[in-house]
Amino acid sequence: MQGQEYDYEKLKEVGRVSWEAAQYGKSLVKPGASVLDACEKIEAFIRGKGMQLAFPANISANERAAHYTATTSDASVFGDRDVVKVDVGARQGDVLGDCAVTVDLSGDNAKMVEAAGEALEAGLAGVRAGARLNDIGREIARVAEKRGFKPIRNLGGHAVEYGELHASIFIPNYDNGDTTRLEEGQVIALEPFLTTGDGFVVDSDVVQIFQLNGPVAARSPEARKLAEIVEREHKTYPFAIRWLAKEFASEFGIRKGLNELSGLGVLQSFPALVERGHGIVAQAEKEAIVEKDSCAVVTK
Ligand code: MN
Ligand code: MN
């Protein structure tokens, strides 16, 4: 928002569609249902509202905390004991939505899912102009720990600026000592992740989501074609390999292009994140506008 008047009306529309998409996504998570089908239906739902995607539909199960989206020919289905995070965002131009819900298919992890929701609400209750980031984090951790779970320390909320989802500030899920204060009018997302594991995530070698950070002069035909498509259709927003499949004869060509762009230093990758101690993970996320004495949730 720096120096630019935020279009809050547009943000509220994007927030509403993001939230509806998350609820719709929740309804698609059933034992035996296809993960690929769920991702594609959620994305079609958002496009069907006349909006674009802020990022590919993230559907991450169990110890996988975030950043998984279906592969091009993903044959996986939801298991009847899965704990599934559905993290989605609509986009209108450069105005971005971001929210997440967790589905517990067995019911055995209901306490953790509930606790993630409570931690989120406790965090939001402390959001106002002048609130310190570490105070919000401390409150999230307090609720998580009271319920017997660990907050994941190296994941957290963030500011949402025009054209940039993970902008400027990191809002911790514990007291990390950062006394930076929130400002009136700022748009933020809070996202507690709770776990039965160590409370940290690490990169896995599964990488389906990428982002091109600027224009590039690529050499190979694959990289040139890839850069051209991404610059035109996805700009500097995250995209999935799956989104490029129709334009390439094989995934080999896509990977070859991605490797070259990566070597040129313009490609960011988002590996699927897994809990370090293989703990199960639950997440809850909402996006809100910071107001003088409270906040206004937009993903509802
Ligand atoms: Mn987020
Ligand atoms: Mn998210």
Q: Is 231 a catalytic residue?
A: no
Same domain, 111 and 229: no
| Token pair in block for residue 52 | 């674009």
What number of other Cβ atoms are within 10 A of residue 18's Cβ? 31
Domain limits at 173? 8-203+273-297
Q: Which residues contact 205 (CB under 8 A, 6 or more apart)?
A: 271
Q: Please check whether residue 37 is in contact with residue 76, taking contact to mean a CB–CB distance below 8 angstroms.
A: no
What CATH number has the domain bearing residue 254?
Answer: 1.10.10.10
Among all ligands shown, which has an atom nearest to the Cα of 157?
A: 1
**Considering only CA atoms, which of 106, 37, 35, 91 is closest in space to residue 64?**
35
Same domain, 64 and 147: yes
Q: How many residues does the chain have?
A: 300
Same domain, 173 and 25: yes
Q: Is 166 a catalytic residue?
A: yes
**Predicted pLDDT of residue 4:** 62
Q: Is 67 a catalytic residue?
A: no
Distance from the CA of 285 to the center of ligand 2, in angstroms?
A: 6
**From first to last of its 300 residues, what are the pLDDT tens digits of the chain?**
454 678 999 999 999 999 999 999 999 999 999 999 999 999 999 999 999 999 999 999 999 999 999 999 999 999 999 999 999 999 999 999 999 999 999 999 999 999 999 999 999 999 999 999 999 999 999 999 999 999 999 999 999 999 888 878 999 999 999 999 999 999 999 999 999 999 999 999 999 999 999 888 999 999 999 999 999 999 999 999 999 999 999 999 999 999 999 999 999 999 999 999 999 999 999 999 999 999 999 999
Q: Is 191 a catalytic residue?
A: yes
Domain count, the chain: 2
Q: Is 222 a catalytic residue?
A: no
Among all ligands shown, which has an atom nearest to the Cα of 66?
A: 2
Same domain, 181 and 110: yes
Distance from the CA of 247 to the center of ligand 2, in angstroms?
A: 28
233-292: per-residue pLDDT in tens?
A: 999 999 999 999 999 999 999 999 999 999 999 999 999 999 999 999 999 999 999 999
Same domain, 160 and 190: yes
For residues 136 and 155, what is the distance between their CA atoms, to the nearest angstrom?
14
**Predicted pLDDT of residue 205:** 97
Same domain, 251 and 111: no
**Considering only CA atoms, which of 43, 64, 42, 60 is closest in space to residue 52?**
43
Distance from the CA of 10 to the center of ligand 2, in angstroms?
A: 18
Same domain, 78 and 19: yes
Same domain, 74 and 176: yes
Continuous segment of H or E residues that includes residue 148: none
**Predicted pLDDT of residue 163:** 85
Same domain, 267 and 279: no
Distance from the CA of 118 to the center of ligand 2, in angstroms?
A: 17
Distance from the CA of 254 to the center of ligand 1, in angstroms?
A: 27
Residues with CB under 5 A from ligand 2 (ion): 87, 98, 100, 285
Q: Is 87 a catalytic residue?
A: yes
164 within domain boundaries: yes
- Give the neighbor-by-neighbor strand order of the sheet with 52-53: 52-53, 90-92, 95-96
What number of other Cβ atoms are within 10 A of residue 62's Cβ? 18
Among all ligands shown, which has an atom nearest to the Cα of 88?
A: 2
1 within domain boundaries: no
| Marked catalytic residue, from 7, 166, 178, 198 | 166
183 within domain boundaries: yes
- CA-CA distances (angstroms) from residue 162 to 11, 16, 203? 10, 17, 27
Same domain, 170 and 155: yes
Amino acid 174 reads Y
| Marked catalytic residue, from 43, 63, 74, 87 | 87
What CATH number has the domain bearing residue 284?
Answer: 3.90.230.10
2 within domain boundaries: no
Give start and end residues of each alpha helix (H) in 101-169.
110-125, 133-146
Q: Which residues contact 48 (CB under 8 A, 6 or more apart)?
A: none
Angle between helices 110-125 and 133-146 (to 10 degrees): 150
Distance from the CA of 239 to the center of ligand 1, in angstroms?
A: 16
Region of 161 on the Ramachandran plot (φ > 0 left; ψ -120 to 50 alpha; else beta): beta
Distance from the CA of 285 to the center of ligand 1, in angstroms?
A: 7
Q: Which residues contact 180 (CB under 8 A, 6 or more apart)?
A: 132, 133, 169
Distance from the CA of 247 to the center of ligand 1, in angstroms?
A: 29
| Token pair in block for residue 262 | 């990566």
Same domain, 51 and 86: yes
| Marked catalytic residue, from 13, 63, 98, 260 | 98
Same domain, 107 and 247: no
